[in-house]
């Protein structure tokens, strides 16, 4: 075994020990995101570590019975606790071998775009237009590292978990053996992700409208939000379109709607509770499970009945 | 193969101090909003995990030497970090075998619809007042398990006067999380003993008179004194509540608080920072639990 392969194995073992489920590595030559070398010009390899989101964390939303556990366990804890800790431990392995190693997590409230948003956090907490603080294109880097393929919804799909994972990266000047790029074979463009979105935020051609997504992630569609009172948005002239997910929202309008969505408090660390439960990802997972293409099989299918729908009042 | 023995071995390896498995049938008489079957309808069991809170964190509060570390390490770190990481590992182990694993951590700042109590440990609680069932026969969300009842059914301990769990190993110094699963595991017997002998030590110890032998815990009264409205709070100054017409009654623990009056006085009770994640600093020293622990130790129940 080569010395660099031994280092890579040690790095992967550390990441797996601290909670990662999949580790992949890409050489800088195939990384299409210019931010990689902008952030660290000495980058030779990019390591991607993916952490599963528990399927069980979404069960409560599927049943319409429990919402808190998904956001706190499958978003907040992974992003704020588990993945940062694993990154620090893994970076130490590379540093101990004399290499630079720059950890990269999603900074949820910092973005280069001037008027976009991140549905997972309060839009008012986001610092926009931060060109001096470049962020990786996480999905592009995940594909180029060989983690998986990009699905229609924009989510990364893997053989193990479908769309149910989150991931972080390490940029390093170590020339580690690269893994192959995954050959796309999971997403069959069925459109289930787009059809499932309660806010029609996903267009198969143009991608995700982030503001539209943010509003319906937070529960603006009454038929999919058991916490919305009948009097919600009563004074809104577009009420029916809004609460049925038919309204097209400008960023300004989306902000105004988000300010009125207070029916369920956020979890800690400033994360918005997901009321849609990432319906796009769930629909994708259900479809992949039905096709039998996921490596990890469960004794019971995730979806056992038609999704519930509440009446519009 | 996933067995109860393996679950228990791994739980201890990953950091749990206590682990027990409760048969789902034991939850048959739970109201739907507390029923784990409403989270996973085909669940076979509930696995309970206990994490000790270090004794010294309580002792340092009792000694008056330090208070903030109890909230930071004994409450926030266990609930927000340690137990969450643990749950991910344990549930991952179960999902690897193809079984569902629905993690249930302490939902500290939410109350089910109809529950007017509060959690003294957090800045405030929110009752899900607008919630409605998503279909006939479904419960009103969120379903939040009764952790004390679940711990009893998992064979881990018995209910204390204030509604927490008393365990033979750590008395009241323990916190819990659960996993609802369809894994076919051998279940433990429910905890049959009553560790609380109604001695009343916890009632006498509370500086806010928030506990009674007949009525249990008044959570809003507790929340006010947990934050230090009492005379024995080491951070209390002459300026605190200086112009409040009922200052003496409050500091003596004689005033009764409800949700409205408690929330009104909270802003005046800022002696230490709220922990970053919204946990209120404990300035009563959890004297109820300290008194209970000492009683259980002296009675050789621990």
**Residues A32 and A159 reside in one and the same domain:** yes
> Cβ distance A144 to A181 under 8 Å?
yes
Counting as low any pLDDT under 50, the low residues of chain A are: none
| CB pairs A-B closer than 8 Å | 135
Of residues B209, B194, B101, the one with CA closest to residue A298: B101
Token pair 């309008």 is at which residue?
Answer: A253
**Residue A157 C-alpha, separation from nearest chain B C-alpha, in angstroms:** 18
A-chain residue closest to B33, CA distance:
A65
**Residues A217 and A249 reside in one and the same domain:** yes
Residue B282 to residue B279: CA distance in whole angstroms: 9
Q: Is the pLDDT of residue B167 over 70?
A: yes
Q: Is the pLDDT of residue B276 over 70?
A: no
CA angle (A189, B96, A67) in 5-degree steps: 65
Q: Given this model, what pLDDT does residue A231 score?
A: 94
**Residues A47 and A129 reside in one and the same domain:** yes
Put simply, the answer to whether A298 touches B99 (Cβ < 8 Å) is: yes
Put simply, the answer to whether B91 touches A227 (Cβ < 8 Å) is: no
**Residues A154 and A226 reside in one and the same domain:** no
Q: Given this model, what pLDDT does residue A168 score?
A: 98
How do the domains of chain B map onto residue ranges? 4-181, 201-298
Q: Given this model, what pLDDT does residue B113 score?
A: 96
List of residues 6+ apart from A253 with CB closer than 8 A: A247
A309 occurs within a structural domain: no
Does any CB of chain B come closer than 8 Å to the CB of residue A228?
A: yes
List of residues 6+ apart from B54 with CB closer than 8 A: B73, B74, B173
Does any CB of chain A come closer than 8 Å to the CB of residue B92?
A: yes
A281 occurs within a structural domain: yes
Strand partners of residue A101: A172
Q: Given this model, what pLDDT does residue B277 score?
A: 72
B 37-56: CB under 8 A from A: 38-42
**Residues A283 and A208 reside in one and the same domain:** yes
**Residue B137 C-alpha, separation from nearest chain A C-alpha, in angstroms:** 11
A285 occurs within a structural domain: yes
Q: Given this model, what pLDDT does residue B192 score?
A: 96
**Residues A10 and A117 reside in one and the same domain:** yes
Residue A180 to residue B228: CA distance in whole angstroms: 60
Structure confidence by residue, pLDDT tens digits, B208-256: 999 999 999 999 999 999 999 999 999 999 999 999 999 999 999 999 9
E-only strand ranges, chain A = 22-27, 45-52, 101-104, 149-150, 156-157, 165-172, 202-203, 207-208
A 83-142: CB under 8 A from B: 85
The beta-carbon neighbor of A298 closest among B81, B98, B144 is B98
Put simply, the answer to whether B39 touches A55 (Cβ < 8 Å) is: no
Strand partners of residue B103: B179
**Residues A33 and A155 reside in one and the same domain:** yes
Does any CB of chain B come closer than 8 Å to the CB of residue A6?
A: no
Helices (H) and strands (E) in chain B, counts: 10, 10
Structure confidence by residue, pLDDT tens digits, B10-62: 999 999 999 999 999 999 999 999 999 999 999 999 999 999 999 999 999 99
Residue A162 to residue A58: CA distance in whole angstroms: 14
Residue A155 to residue A165: CA distance in whole angstroms: 9
pLDDT band at B280 (very low <50, low <70, confident <90, very high): very high
Structure confidence by residue, pLDDT tens digits, A226-259: 999 999 999 999 999 999 999 999 999 999 999 9
Which tokens is A127 given?
Answer: 């610092």
Put simply, the answer to whether B100 touches A69 (Cβ < 8 Å) is: no
Q: How many domains does chain A have?
A: 2
A259 occurs within a structural domain: yes
A 187-226: CB under 8 A from B: 226
Q: Given this model, what pLDDT does residue B96 score?
A: 97
A153 occurs within a structural domain: yes
The sign of the CA dihedral A149, A154, A159, A164 is: positive
The beta-carbon neighbor of A69 closest among B89, B103, B131 is B103
Does any CB of chain B come closer than 8 Å to the CB of residue A52?
A: yes
Q: Given this model, what pLDDT does residue B169 score?
A: 97
Residue B256 to residue B218: CA distance in whole angstroms: 10
Interface ipTM: 0.92
From chain B, the residues in CB contact with A57 under 8 A are 91, 102-103
- Mean pLDDT over B156-167 rounds to 97
**Residues A10 and A152 reside in one and the same domain:** yes
Residue A80 to residue B277: CA distance in whole angstroms: 12
* Domain that includes residue A129, residue range: 3-172
Phi/psi region, residue A47 (left: phi>0; alpha: psi -120 to 50; beta: rest), is: beta
> Cβ distance A105 to A83 under 8 Å?
yes
**Residues A159 and A236 reside in one and the same domain:** no
**Element holding A241 (H helix, E strand):** helix A239-243
Put simply, the answer to whether B138 touches A268 (Cβ < 8 Å) is: no
pLDDT band at B275 (very low <50, low <70, confident <90, very high): low
From chain A, the residues in CB contact with B105 under 8 A are 69, 72-73
From chain A, the residues in CB contact with B87 under 8 A are 73
**Residues A44 and A134 reside in one and the same domain:** yes
The residue out of A138, A172, A206 marking a domain boundary is: A172
**Residue B302 C-alpha, separation from nearest chain A C-alpha, in angstroms:** 33
A13 occurs within a structural domain: yes
A226 occurs within a structural domain: yes
**Residues A94 and A215 reside in one and the same domain:** no
The beta-carbon neighbor of A56 closest among B95, B110, B141 is B95
**Residues A51 and A168 reside in one and the same domain:** yes
> Cβ distance B177 to A101 under 8 Å?
no
Q: Given this model, what pLDDT does residue A313 score?
A: 85
Put simply, the answer to whether B105 touches A69 (Cβ < 8 Å) is: yes
The residue out of A172, A200, A215 marking a domain boundary is: A172
A184 occurs within a structural domain: no
Q: Given this model, what pLDDT does residue A218 score?
A: 96
The beta-carbon neighbor of A226 closest among B80, B134, B144 is B134
């Amino acid at each position: 075994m080569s010395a660099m392969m031994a280092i890579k194995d040690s790095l992967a073992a550390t990441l797996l020990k601290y909670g990662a489920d999949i580790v992949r590595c890409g050489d800088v030559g195939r990384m299409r995101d210019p931010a990689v070398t902008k952030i660290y010009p000495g980058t030779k390899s990019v390591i991607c570590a993916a952490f599963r989101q528990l399927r069980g964390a979404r069960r409560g939303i599927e049943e319409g019975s429990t919402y808190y556990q998904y956001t706190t366990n499958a978003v907040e804890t992974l992003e704020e606790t588990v993945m940062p800790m694993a990154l620090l431990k893994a970076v130490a392995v590379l540093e101990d071998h004399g290499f630079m190693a720059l950890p990269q997590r999603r900074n949820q409230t910092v973005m280069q775009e001037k008027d976009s948003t991140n549905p997972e956090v309060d839009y008012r907490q986001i610092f926009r237009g931060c060109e001096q603080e470049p962020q990786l294109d996480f999905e592009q880097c995940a594909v180029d590292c060989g983690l998986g393929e990009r699905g229609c919804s924009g989510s990364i799909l893997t053989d193990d978990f479908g769309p149910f994972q989150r991931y972080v990266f390490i940029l390093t000047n170590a020339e580690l053996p690269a893994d192959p790029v995954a050959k796309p074979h999971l997403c069959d463009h069925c459109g289930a992700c787009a059809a499932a979105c309660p806010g029609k935020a996903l267009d198969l051609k143009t991608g995700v409208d982030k503001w539209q997504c943010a509003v319906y992630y937070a529960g603006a569609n009454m038929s999919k939000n058991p916490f919305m009172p009948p009097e919600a948005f009563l004074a809104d002239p577009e009420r029916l379109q809004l609460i049925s997910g038919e309204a097209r929202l400008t960023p300004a309008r989306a902000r105004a709607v988000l300010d009125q969505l207070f029916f369920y408090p956020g979890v800690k660390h400033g994360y918005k509770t997901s009321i849609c439960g990432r319906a796009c990802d769930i629909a994708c997972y259900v479809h992949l499970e039905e096709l039998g293409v996921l490596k990890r099989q469960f004794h019971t299918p995730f979806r056992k009945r038609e999704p519930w729908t509440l009446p519009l009042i | 193969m996933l067995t109860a023995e393996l679950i228990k071995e791994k739980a201890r390896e990953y950091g749990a101090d206590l682990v027990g498995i409760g048969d789902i049938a034991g939850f048959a008489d739970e109201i739907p909003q507390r029923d784990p079957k409403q989270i996973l309808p085909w669940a076979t069991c509930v696995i309970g995990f206990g994490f000790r809170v270090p004794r010294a964190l309580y002792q340092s509060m009792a000694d008056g030497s330090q208070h903030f570390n109890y909230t930071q390490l004994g409450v926030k770190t266990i609930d927000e970090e340690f137990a969450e990481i643990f749950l991910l590992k344990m549930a991952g182990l179960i999902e690897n075998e193809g079984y569902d694993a629905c993690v249930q951590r302490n939902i500290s700042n939410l109350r089910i619809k109809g529950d007017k109590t509060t959690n003294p440990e957090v800045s405030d609680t929110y009752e899900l007042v607008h919630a409605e069932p998503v279909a006939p026969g479904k419960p009103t969300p969120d379903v939040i398990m009764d952790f004390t009842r679940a711990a009893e059914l998992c064979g881990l301990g018995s209910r204390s006067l204030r509604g927490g769990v008393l365990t033979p190993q750590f008395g009241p110094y323990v916190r819990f999380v659960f996993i609802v699963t369809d894994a076919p595991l051998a279940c433990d017997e429910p905890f049959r003993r009553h560790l609380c002998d109604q001695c009343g030590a916890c009632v006498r110890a509370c500086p806010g008179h928030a506990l009674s032998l007949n009525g249990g815990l008044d959570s809003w009264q507790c929340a006010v004194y947990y934050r230090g409205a009492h005379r024995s709070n080491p951070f209390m100054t002459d300026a605190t509540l200086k112009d409040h017409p009922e200052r003496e009654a409050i500091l003596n623990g004689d005033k009764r608080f409800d949700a409205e009056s408690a929330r009104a006085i909270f802003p005046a009770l800022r002696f230490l920072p709220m922990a970053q994640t919204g946990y209120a600093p404990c300035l009563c020293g959890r004297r109820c639990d300290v008194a209970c622990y000492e009683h259980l130790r002296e009675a050789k129940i621990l």
